[in-house]
Amino acid sequence: MAQLNENAALLLYPGMTALDLIGPQYVFSTIIGMNVHLAAKSKEPILTDTGVSILPTMTLQECPNELTVLFVPGGTEGTLAAIEDHETLAFVADRGARAQYVTSVCTGSLVLGAAGLLRGYKATSHWISRDLLELVGAEPINERVVFDRNRVTGGGVTAGIDFALSLAGKLRGDEYAQTIQLLAEYAPRPPYQSGTPEEAEPAITKKLIDMTAPFLQKAHSVLLGASL
């Protein structure tokens, strides 16, 4: 194999969603020759939005300059704080300018966008926040995983598994990714058909839209004020 010492950097920040990270982290760590780094501002444990704390493996300063994959998970308030944090956004902009693949899941695409990395690209996000991508010059696409040149963005939370398997296929070929899929026993059987606003009961969609309205409003103003 041509490259057997590649680096993937997965950004950690307080208030991120752990499942956004751990789906892709499982897949990437199964790729032989891929060093998977969990990079954060410090090595202190990162408290995620569901209450589980995860340890970074390196600081942003220690992160390799040349990355095969830069990955940003999503969240809600914590994601907006990451966008407003100059050091974090500068890191994403810097590594993203040279990474072979610039990627995200869920509202992580808002961080990529705020760092100027999605201007003129098709991209996706959590369905709640997808239209916000227009504020950072991206074209919102209603698909689970969106490839546009070297930008790869996934939808909300659980889309991370589909995203990462798709990227594994690009990096190591279909058979390799299929082997990971079988190891992960990824033959999903959702107990309900309620995973998108198109499928869910309208009352359920409305409830989540109402619940997340304050976040969306804040996200709008944060993205308009993003420093990069």
List active site positions: 106
* Least spacing, CB of residue 150 vs its own copies, in Å: 18
Beta carbons within 10 angstroms of residue 224's beta carbon: 10
CB of 154 to its own copies, least distance (A): 9
Distance of CA 165 to the CA centre of its chain: 14
| 71 vs 161: CA distance, rounded Å | 13
Nearest residue to 15 (alpha-carbon basis) of 62, 52, 42, 44: 52
Strand partners, 51: none
Measured from the CB atom, the residue of 95 and 130 that comes closer to its own copies is: 130
Smaller CB separation from its own copies, 113 or 155: 155
Nearer to its own copies, 30 or 79 (CB): 30
Minimum separation from the CB atom of position 59 to its own copies (A): 15
Kindly list the residues in this chain that would bind its own copies in the complex (CB under 8 A): 17-19, 22-23, 25-26, 29-30, 36, 38, 45, 50-55, 57, 106, 126-127, 144-145, 155-159, 161-162, 165-166, 169, 174-175, 177-179, 181-197, 199-201, 204-205, 207-208
Q: Which is nearer to its own copies, 61 or 193 (CB)?
A: 193
SS (H, E, C) 135-182: HHCCEECCCCEEEECCEEEECCCCHHHHHHHHHHHHHHCHHHHHHHHH
Least spacing, CB of residue 207 vs its own copies, in Å: 6
Both tokens of residue 26? Answer: 């499982």
